[in-house]
Amino acid sequence: MKNTSGTTEQKRRAGESAADLVTDGMVVGLGTGSTAAHAIEALGQAVDAGLDVEGIPTSFQSRQLALEHGIPLTSLDAVDRVDVAIDGADQVAGFTLVKGGGAAHAREKIVDAAADRFVVVADPSKLTDDLDYPIPVEVLPAARPTVADAIAALGGDPVLRQAERKDGPVVTDNGNVVLDCDFGVVDEPAALATDLSALPGVVEHGLFVDMADEVHVGRDDGVERRTR
């Protein structure tokens, strides 16, 4: 369930701007989605030109893309630190995000949270004052009915995400399903995040509360860098 009305050029500018932050010897979290893909491509070009980095992918998609672009890969258990993570978002309000439009938010949150510096890449259509995008919640398949009931009791409207080129639901890289949960405007993201995390069977939700360190917004005439 994507929220991508930005142009390719806006996304490319954002991705390249974030990739420019990467220097020799860094370990880089490789986000998922069409905007993060531009950062991965730019990093691949830099690796071609001699940059020495290792990437930690956040999904099947970002792993494949990194392999195609010749970026050496590693994993969280093989490194002492992640210097920077570059990732997209479906909505950005300040430094709080809704993610999971590509159903990769569980691994994304692990890697993005582990990074010393988490850089979000976005086009202007992602920016908002009010977070009102349905919150993706990854759920163990056996827990779908009970989690859906609990989310309804919290005031959400959970809808099982359906696959587009497969019959039945989207199955995540972790073998789970996703409930897209419309809560209207989320006035208190931290409280909702705590409530969602507490539900048995929830693997991870797409609220990234106050997690970003920087947001690079690709615009038609350049890049706006928002820092804390």
- Asked if 113 contacts 45 with a C-beta cutoff of 8 angstroms, the reply is no
* Under rule CB under 6 A, residue 103 binds ligand 5RP: yes
* Minimal distance, residue 212 CB to ligand 5RP, in Å: 12
Tell me, yes or no, if 108 is annotated catalytic.
Answer: yes
Residue of 41, 54, 83, 90 interacting with ligand 5RP (CB under 6 A) = 90
* Minimal distance, residue 59 CB to ligand 5RP, in Å: 7
* Under rule CB under 6 A, residue 109 binds ligand 5RP: no
* Under rule CB under 6 A, residue 218 binds ligand 5RP: no
Task: Kindly write down the DSSP assignment for every residue of 91-104, as one continuous string.
Answer: EEETTEEE--TTS-
- For 139-156, b/e burial (b = at least 16 CB within 10 A) is bbeebbeebbebbeeeeb
Question: Looking at 54, 108, 138, 204, which residue is catalytic?
Answer: 108
Of 146 and 209, CB closest to ligand 5RP:
209
For 47, phi then psi, to 5°, come to -65, -40
* Under rule CB under 6 A, residue 88 binds ligand 5RP: yes
For 146, phi then psi, to 5°, come to -70, -40
* Minimal distance, residue 127 CB to ligand 5RP, in Å: 13
Structural tokens at position 5: 């009305």
Question: Any idea what DSSP says for residue 55?
Answer: E
Binding site for ligand 5RP (CB under 6 A): 2, 4, 31-36, 87-90, 99-105, 108
